[in-house]
Amino acid sequence: MLRHKDIWRAIDRLAEKHGLSASGLARRSGLDPTTFNKSKRTAPGGKARWPSTESVAKILESTGESLPNFVGLIGDRGRPPRRRIALLGYARAGVAGHFDEAGYPAGRGWDEIELPGIAEDGAYALKITGDSMEPAYRAGDIIIVAPGAAVRRGDRVVVKTRGGEVMAKQLLRHSSRRTELRSLNDRHADRSLASDEIAWMARILWVTQ
């Protein structure tokens, strides 16, 4: 018998498998980002809420997974494998020698961290310091960055300029001429850069807290 907790566990594991949080999976699938929040899984009176068949169909379509693969994520054997990826302190990301021209980890000075379900080749982790990205990211959070992932309007991204500045922002617009970025913290200004000022831009997949 399929239980309430089984279907939600499969959704969480599907998100992990593709390097996403549950809200990130919902957003990628065209759903409200809060669709799979833990608070939405039970009604105020404690009655179990089940995800709709439409939402399950949308997450399978967005991830390219089949229904049998989804069912396979239920139970102890369905847990995604863990993988070691490169880790660097965010404050050190602007120092030369840590990235190649495409924004992939390079050189020395990287540590490693083990995380579940990182599917993107070349993904790496940055550990946040300071409060410049609150409330989105706080000191101690680890963001997972994928240089090879497609970047779309609305995505949170890490950008490195040709002058060596590294910033985490939300992408508003990107064209051959200009790139518009929104600050994650209202105390810091949004940025508008000539696109040729940007060395590379990589999508933030998810964050561990």
Q: For the domain that residue 32 is a member of, what is the CATH number?
A: 1.10.260.40
pLDDT above 60 for 205:
yes
Domains held by the chain: number: 2
Three-state DSSP at 28 gives helix
Task: Tell me how far apart the alpha carbons of residues 197 and 122 are, in angstroms, rounded to a whole number.
Answer: 23
- The pLDDT tens digits of the residues spanning 55-106 come to 999 999 988 888 888 888 876 555 556 678 899 999 888 888 899 988 989 8
pLDDT of 9: 87
Q: Which domain holds residue 180?
A: 82-208
Q: What pLDDT is recorded for position 117?
A: 61
Q: What are phi and psi of 63, to 5 degrees?
A: -100, -10
- 173 & 95 share domain: yes
Whether residue 104 is found in the same domain as residue 27: no
* CATH code assigned at 169: 2.10.109.10
Residue the block writes with tokens 């706080």:
138
